[in-house]
Structure 1
Amino acid sequence: MVELVTIHTSALDHATRHAVRGLLFEEFDDMTEEDWEHGLGGVHALVREDGVVVGHASVVQRRLLHAGRALRTGYVENVVVRADRRGRGHGAALMEALEAVVRGGYELGALCAADDAAAFYAARGWQPWRGPLGALTPRGPVPTPDDEGEVSVLPGTTAPDLDGRLMCDWRDGDLW
């Protein structure tokens, strides 16, 4: 039996949290502790097959600066489907659940996608950011040109200028 659930980080039991963390570290050879932390504190979507977690994604709140405003942004993190369960619609189900959260609670959705996932997100209405990117760091604003072409947004109550500057808030590890 396949089950999709959404749940806040605070309601994840120890076994589920451990299963999600294990899945992420198993599927991504470049996964870090900071990456794991980035996906906590918001809403998780989980796909379970016969009680086993085979897919996960989360959305957390961040502040992105654009056109002189700090936008309340639902930032998608830690999207994964177990390799032997891909191609069954689990990724689409995870994203559909989180997109509903983004549209219902945020001005904007955003994510940083690996090259091989960009077409998947584009087909769902996520728009690649074309303008310059940057981050507000403890030393002030800095450009993040290495992330250009990887960030996509899902307009919510705000329709951004995709050619304008977009700045993310500070965090340890990968900024985007």
Structure 2
Amino acid sequence: MTEAHLTTPRMTDVRIAHTADLDVTTLKAARALLYDVFDDMTAEDWEHSLGGLHALIHEDGELIGHASVVQRRLLHGGRALRCGYVEGVGVRADRRGRGHGAALMDALERVVHSGYDLGALGAADEAATFYAARGWQRWRGRSWALTPDGIQRTADEDGCIYVLPAAATPLDLDSDLTCDWRDGDVW
């Protein structure tokens, strides 16, 4: 896969690259950035950000913003939907409020709309307003996970999942939504 460069109206240069196309230094910088942004970041959380496309913002040679979209399967309405799941969205604290988060999401939302049935993400309370303002919709139904032991309820995630309809619209936001299995936080 080739790498692309996008320029948003904010004139923020967002680099898009697949995990396989990122060098070790960039991956280390992205991981360090996310560990600085999130107090509760785990090794599994970092792993969830890998294997897809990364949106990266650099200023003066330093990585100041990261987000990624990885493919997952979500079960909804009797269908397995190809989902662009957004992970690891973070901007360095001293660069927030300048449109960098929006520029990262602009790039990833273009990927979701072009390549997936829907987008999804788990939003922390403080980020929910940001995503809702961008057109992401809170999933109001019950959440589940397809685990090695069968389908299990994930009630703690109810109200924290946001979706961005793409090719699979319309979605019934009040029905059940089941994610595929992964280690760590399944949502």
Aligned partners of 2:82 and 2:117 also within 8 Å: yes
By how many angstroms is 1:50 displaced?
Answer: 1.1
Give me the whole-angstrom Cα distance separating, in 1, the residues matched to 2:61 and 2:139.
37
Matched, 1:167 2:178: yes
Runs of 4+ that moved beyond 6 A: none
- Specify which of 50, 55, 61 is matched with residue 60 of structure 2: 50
Could you tell me which runs of 5 or more consecutive residues in structure 1 were left unpaired when the two chains were aligned: none
**Quick one: which amino acid aligns to residue 82 of structure 2?**
R
Aligned partners of 1:57 and 1:94 also within 8 Å: yes
Aligned partners of 2:12 and 2:103 also within 8 Å: no
Over the matched positions of the two proteins, sequence identity in percent amounts to 66
Give me the whole-angstrom Cα distance separating, in 2, the residues matched to 1:29 and 1:126.
24
RMSD: 0.9
By how many angstroms is 1:29 displaced?
Answer: 1.2
2:115 corresponds in structure 1 to 105
Q: How does 1:4-153 map to 2 (within 5 A)?
A: 4-153=14-163
Give me the whole-angstrom Cα distance separating, in 2, the residues matched to 1:7 and 1:37.
16
User: Which whole-Å deviations, capped at 9, do the CAs of 1:128-163 have from their partners, x for residues lacking one?
Assistant: 000000000000001101000100000001121000
User: Which whole-Å deviations, capped at 9, do the CAs of 1:66-91 have from their partners, x for residues lacking one?
Assistant: 00000000000000000000000000
The TM-score normalised by the length of structure 2 is 0.93
Could you tell me which runs of 5 or more consecutive residues in structure 2 were left unpaired when the two chains were aligned: 1-10
Matched, 1:3 2:26: no
The TM-score normalised by the length of structure 1 is 0.98
